[in-house]
Amino acid sequence: MNSKIRHIIYGIISFVLSFVLFLLSFAVMLQSTILNPSYIMDNMNTSNYFIDKRDEIKKSLVDLGYASGLDESFFENVVDEVTIHDNTQAYLNSFYSGEEAKIDTTAFKQKFNSELDSYISKNNLKVAGGSSREYLINKAASIYASALRIPLFTTLSTYLVAMKNMMPLIIGGLVVLAAVLCIIIIFTNRWKHRAVRYICYATSGAFLTVGIIPAVLFSTGFINKINIDSRAFYNLFVQSMNSILIALAVCSIVFLIISVGLFFLHKSMRRHASED
């Protein structure tokens, strides 16, 4: 085979292998981050999500309380981060398992009702009709549930759950494809240093394609500039995205290290081949 044609063919194979490695890196990143409820919960804890969300819910409930004649102090013990944590975790688990994701407001309603009894008794207030009290509790529960829903989850639920179920197969297929391409490169080259060179091309390409995403986003500060009204969701989003970008950067560095190792291996094997 003509050397130029051979070089073009193996260059194409190296490019395909590089693209497969990029897709594999991206798939593994998705599987271990966005498609993993534990990852979301870990970032919620790290970003103080539950404390911020508690304060946001209290602020919304205080506005409701003004209309109902409740003092601001009433809401101090109505919402706590432990209940928010438990309800959010149940919400995420049901979402990722493909079930209908709902916020359980049972514990919140019980707490609100108990605090309302104490407040009425302490202040010697006259109780309005049962329907008004029920409306107040349900309205408060609606505010609570709405605050805990994660934006875009409802819209993207079908796609994310389908992707979560398919991702192990996708990762397995990409691993097999990458292995097949490496085998083709190695066993169809008489001189093994050439095979090492073409695989080095592929890992170098993967280093560039995987690394360019975090490099651009970190250098421009794009993530921090995104406007999200909720402080809790903003901190969660920034924390999660930065963790993902760091993971991609680490993956890119791994490809760089492999590329450097293959480069020196190629030089060594080529020198030994020329001596023979």
Residue 235 and residue 188 in one domain: yes
Output 51 or 94, whichever has higher pLDDT. 51
In angstroms, the CA 133 to CA 257 distance is 65
In angstroms, the CA 163 to CA 58 distance is 36
Domain count of the fold of the chain:
2
In angstroms, the CA 258 to CA 112 distance is 58
Residue 97 and residue 179 in one domain: no
Answer whether residue 133 shows pLDDT above 80: no
Residue 35 and residue 68 in one domain: no
Residue 33 forms part of a structural domain: yes
Q: What is the pLDDT confidence band of residue 191, given thresholds at 50, 70 and 90?
A: confident
End-to-end CA distance of the chain: 23
Residue type, 257: I
Judge contact between 149 and 100, C-beta under 8 A: no
Burial 232-249 (b: 16+ CB within 10 A, else e): bbbbbbbbbbbebbebbb
- Residue 90 sits in which domain range? 51-148
**Among residues 89, 119, 148, which one ends one of the domains?**
148
Residue 57 and residue 144 in one domain: yes
- For 31-84, how does the pLDDT look when each residue is reduced to its tens digit (9 = 90+)? 998 888 889 899 999 999 999 999 999 988 888 877 777 778 788 888 888 889
pTM across the whole model: 0.82
pLDDT at site 193: 81
Q: How far is CA 89 from CA 39, 55, 162, in A?
A: 11, 18, 20
Answer whether residue 120 shows pLDDT above 90: no
pLDDT at site 258: 95
Residue 46 forms part of a structural domain: no
Residue 59 and residue 195 in one domain: no
Residue 216 and residue 265 in one domain: yes
Residue 101 and residue 132 in one domain: yes
- For 137-150, how does the pLDDT look when each residue is reduced to its tens digit (9 = 90+)? 888 899 999 898 88
Q: What is the pLDDT confidence band of residue 204, given thresholds at 50, 70 and 90?
A: very high
Q: What is the pLDDT confidence band of residue 198, given thresholds at 50, 70 and 90?
A: very high
Residue 59 and residue 96 in one domain: yes
Cα torsion angle, 249, 24, 159, 104, sign? negative
